[in-house]
A and B are shown apart, each in its own frame.
Chain A
Amino acid sequence: MALAPVVRDDFSAPFFEGTAAGKLLLRYSPSSGEWSEPAARFCSVTQADDLEWRESSGAGTLVSWTIKPGRTKDEVTTPDVVIGIVELAEGPWLSLWLPEVDQSALAIGAGVRVDFLRPEGSEHLPVARLS
């Protein structure tokens, strides 16, 4: 699996409680009505400090992507790794792995939905799949 393991800290505990339950949580500012990425400490539009965790629809579109070619070493070839910037319907961007994606279907604006995978020794992590 291309995903590297991530462990939680106090700040991210609610986020990873969410991913374990198949939910994507973002940061939401009641004062501005705007959504920010999960790592945000302040509202990405107003810099308000009233962010709270709120569930995202998990639906979005592809903003951009890159493909890191697979490598062959000791007669073992690793697959290409596709990483995309996904714009969620609520507005925030996430950089996510697109596992087993059909590369010919990659297109800016393509519909994406968030899924979750759990690398060994890791929390459940969000990934993206073309919808």
Chain B
Amino acid sequence: MSIDSPRTAIVGLGITEMGKVYGRSATDFAVEAITSAVADAGLSLSDVDGLYVNPGIKNDTDMRLQSTLGMRDTRVLATIQGFGSSAGQMVQYASLAIEAGMADVVVCVYADAPLKEGKRAGAAYPGQARAMVGVGSLPFAAGLKAAPERYAVGARRHMHAYGTTSEQFGAVAVAARQWAQLNPHAQMREPMTLEDHQASRMIADPLRLLDCCLVSNGAVAVVVTSAERAATLKQPPVHIWGWGQAHPGYVNRRDSEFGLVTGAAQSGPAALKMAGVGVEEIDIREIYDCFTYTTLVTLEDYGFCAKGEGGEFVASGAIAPGGTHPTNTGGGELSSYYMWGMTPLSEAVIQARGQAGERQVGKHDLVMVSGNGGVLDFHSTLILSPHPKGR
């Protein structure tokens, strides 16, 4: 059994203050984002009968938000953890619950507050703390701890296999910054050049500081309901046309595609098939960009360019403002804010609604959203549109 034509839509969006915002817990941020999203939709908290909660790296909020919010008799409720793929997953599970008649109005929220005043951003993501017991600890003991070095070995594989260069990674960073300059909510809005990228300090060779995403405190929530109900609400509905997930399960052995091919190669086509559209019909791409390399390899795997040609594609200016393939139009996680998969999803909702102001992409009929978690281990895709599917 499959759902060919989902009849659900995103009707509310709540975004808190982002970045170096101290003195507030993840739960504080989550409550603000949820109440903001519900109000944005023209609903009240008493209308909400479903809640999915994705805690971030600090893992200090969860489905007990139900009680915090005073919700009663909630019909679907869970803490969801798919790392960077969580936002896409939550919207999928919310849609499934609504399609199945389990719930009518489902809120999906991500919240985290890893930044501490006076501490470096890198200290917020030091690598998974784990007891150094047994053979599973060997990569960590060798120094492969935090995300930058783990993505770096993947990026180097791509560079070797396809001739991808650091300057091409830099083109992704520069394009993201150009979009961020048009986004009043972006954390990093000062101009950046390719020279700035190349001069930025090495974090984990070949990845430089300006290849790495931001770290942000804050929360984002979205409200999902049926397309029928969406038509009666305050905001232009953002219809959910298709979705997919793929979790490659890389094995550490000969012939592994780690670094070369990601879950996007499966979840993208699955979502496009469900939506009934071709990749060439996508107007806007909101790609999970924890690192510049992630954007590049995901664009390849979605099919916006041939495998191995991502470097030339991004360096051509295609993804920057004014380019042929507008991508990460709010500045992404690299320059706007880092809310895991809610960064691309929130910008997708804003663009699909036509509410992006100076950075609004003219043709915004189909928006493709990626989520990526672990070290390319977990992937989700959404296809969104301001139009009901099939009409």
Q: Spell out A's residues near B (CB within 8 Å).
A: 2-9, 11-12, 15, 35-39, 44-45, 63-69, 81, 83-85, 87, 91-97, 108, 122, 125-127
B191 within 8 A of A: no
Min CB–CB distance A97 → chain B (angstroms): 4
State whether B252 touches A6 (Cβ < 8 A).
no
State whether A69 touches B160 (Cβ < 8 A).
no
State whether A126 touches B254 (Cβ < 8 A).
no
Partner of B204, one of A9, A39, A67: A67
Chain B residue nearest to A80 in the complex (CB): B205
A-B contact pairs, 14 of them (CB 8 A): A3-B143, A63-B157, A64-B160, A66-B206, A68-B143, A69-B202, A83-B149, A87-B253, A91-B254, A93-B253, A94-B252, A95-B153, A97-B143, A125-B142
State whether A6 touches B138 (Cβ < 8 A).
yes
State whether A6 touches B139 (Cβ < 8 A).
no
Contacts of A2 in B (CB 8 A): 142-143
Chain B residue nearest to A83 in the complex (CB): B143
B251 within 8 A of A: yes
Partner of A65, one of B137, B141, B156: B156
Min CB–CB distance A93 → chain B (angstroms): 4
A122-B141, A126-B138 known, 9 other contacts, Cβ within 8 Å? A8-B133, A11-B134, A37-B253, A39-B136, A63-B157, A66-B144, A83-B143, A91-B253, A93-B253
State whether A81 touches B143 (Cβ < 8 A).
yes
Min CB–CB distance B352 → chain A (angstroms): 38
B162 within 8 A of A: no
Contacts of B206 in A (CB 8 A): 66
Contacts of B136 in A (CB 8 A): 39
- With known contacts A9-B133, A66-B204, A85-B153, A94–B253 Cβ distance under 8 A: no
Q: Spell out B's residues near A (CB within 8 Å).
A: 132-144, 149, 152-154, 156-157, 160, 201-207, 251-254, 256, 259
Contacts of B139 in A (CB 8 A): 95
Partner of A125, one of B133, B138, B152: B138
Task: A2 to B144: give the CA distance in the assembly, Å.
Answer: 11
State whether B141 touches A67 (Cβ < 8 A).
no
A4, A6, A36, A127: most-surrounded residue (chain B CB, <10 A)? A6
State whether A95 touches B132 (Cβ < 8 A).
no
- With known contacts A4-B132, A7-B132, A69-B202, A95–B254 Cβ distance under 8 A: no
State whether A125 touches B256 (Cβ < 8 A).
no
Chain B residue nearest to A2 in the complex (CB): B143
State whether A7 touches B133 (Cβ < 8 A).
yes
Chain B residue nearest to A69 in the complex (CB): B202
State whether A66 touches B135 (Cβ < 8 A).
no
Task: A81 to B157: give the CA distance in the assembly, Å.
Answer: 18
Min CB–CB distance B262 → chain A (angstroms): 15
Min CB–CB distance B374 → chain A (angstroms): 15
- With known contacts A4-B140, A93-B256, A66–B149 Cβ distance under 8 A: yes
Chain B residue nearest to A3 in the complex (CB): B141
Min CB–CB distance B258 → chain A (angstroms): 8
Task: A108 to B160: give the CA distance in the assembly, Å.
Answer: 8
State whether A67 touches B205 (Cβ < 8 A).
yes
State whether B133 touches A3 (Cβ < 8 A).
no
State whether B205 touches A69 (Cβ < 8 A).
yes
Contacts of B160 in A (CB 8 A): 64, 108
